[in-house]
Structure 1
Amino acid sequence: MRNQKTYTVNEATKILENYCAYQERCHKEVEQKLYDLNMISIAKEQIILHLLQHNFLNEERFAKAFVRGKFSIKKWGKVKIINELKFKGISAYNINSGLQEINQEDYLKTIQVAAEKKLNLIKEPTKFKKSTKLATFLISKGFESELVYKIIKDLI
């Protein structure tokens, strides 16, 4: 058996406060961190409660920050963002709240720019193959298929 460091509740609380202060975290990430620190259930609950009461942990704030980051930096579409948030155990209410961070005009502009950029890189002879490759790319970025097909129709 390997020799693992143990932490008091106070030490673990400080570690988690720093962890949450560094960047927004969701409950799942905090629980994983507590698991990695080998904390017992009662200590985990006590620490999570402390983090919630002192506003280190706020899932709505996390969802908003996550949406802003993935949309503005990674240029992800709403479908991919929603799936990632669901995977992280974020509630439907907080997901919808987070999605409000996306300006619809910016969203449409982003998908348009991504489509035009990718279209210039696709070296296919037929319209059908071009539009199929473009659709696959845009849908994999998380954009809604009805939007994708509308933009492709306008572009090709």
Structure 2
Amino acid sequence: MAENWSPKRKTYTVDEARLKLEGYCAYQERCHDEVLSKLRAMSMIPEAVDLIVTHLITHNFLNEERFAIAFARGKHRIKKWGKIRITNELKLRNISQRNIATALKEITPDEYYATFHDTAEKNWASITGVITQAKRKKFCDYLLRKGFESNLVYDKLKELEKSD
């Protein structure tokens, strides 16, 4: 006999959900959207969501500016992303323009250009056995996808072509 079987979703009290979200936010920086998604996945009612989010903000578990700064710094240093990609990713997470600007200030111009030049030179050296036009396209596409400004990319392309 086949019965309609569906696993019961765990239900949470407001206190249980609050504790779970405190741990979730303490583990790494989170943005409001991530927390709201988590609460929706836990099937929390809107009133409980408001209470929990307010608690997290009040007790400094949730801070959008701190999230934006950590995100920008991490993506630049680890994934070697440029400012355009970082900005777009933060906008996708509904981070305010003010917080995005604050986060981008955390990346010093010297560090930014050093990362750009290092990434560009490694990529240029890695593209081998390709016709010049195709190499140019691969090089530019890669750096533009990483989020670096087009003027930087094209200037670097000219510089690298002269040195070859």
TM-score (norm 1): 0.96
Match of 1:65 in 2: 70
Q: Which runs of 5+ in 2 are unaligned?
A: 1-5
Match of 2:160 in 1: 155
Aligned residues: percent identity?
51
Match of 1:8 in 2: 13
Aligned equivalents of 2:36 and 2:111: distance in 1?
A: 35
Match of 2:120 in 1: 115
Q: In the alignment, is residue 145 of structure 1 matched against residue 134 of structure 2?
A: no
The one-letter code sitting in structure 2 at the alignment partner of 1:108 is Y
User: For 1:70-109, what aligned pairs fall within 5 Å after superposition?
Assistant: 70-109=75-114
Q: Which one of 50, 54, 73 corresponds to residue 59 of structure 2?
A: 54
The one-letter code sitting in structure 1 at the alignment partner of 2:78 is I
Aligned equivalents of 2:49 and 2:38: distance in 1?
A: 10
Q: Which one of 42, 48, 60 corresponds to residue 43 of structure 1?
A: 48
Secondary structure at the aligned position of 1:55 is classed as coil
Q: Which runs of 5+ in 1 are unaligned?
A: none
Secondary structure at the aligned position of 1:25 is classed as coil
Aligned equivalents of 1:12 and 1:126: distance in 2?
A: 58
Aligned-CA RMSD value: 1.1
Structure number with greater Rg is 2
Aligned equivalents of 1:108 and 1:149: distance in 2?
A: 14
Change (3 A) 1:51 1:125: closer
Match of 2:139 in 1: 134
Aligned equivalents of 2:141 and 2:92: distance in 1?
A: 22
Aligned equivalents of 1:149 and 1:14: distance in 2?
A: 50
| Deviates most, 101-110 or 48-57 | 101-110
Q: Number of residues paired by the alignment?
A: 156
Secondary structure at the aligned position of 1:38 is classed as coil
Aligned equivalents of 2:35 and 2:130: distance in 1?
A: 50
- The runs of 4+ residues in structure 1 deviating greater than 4 Å are none
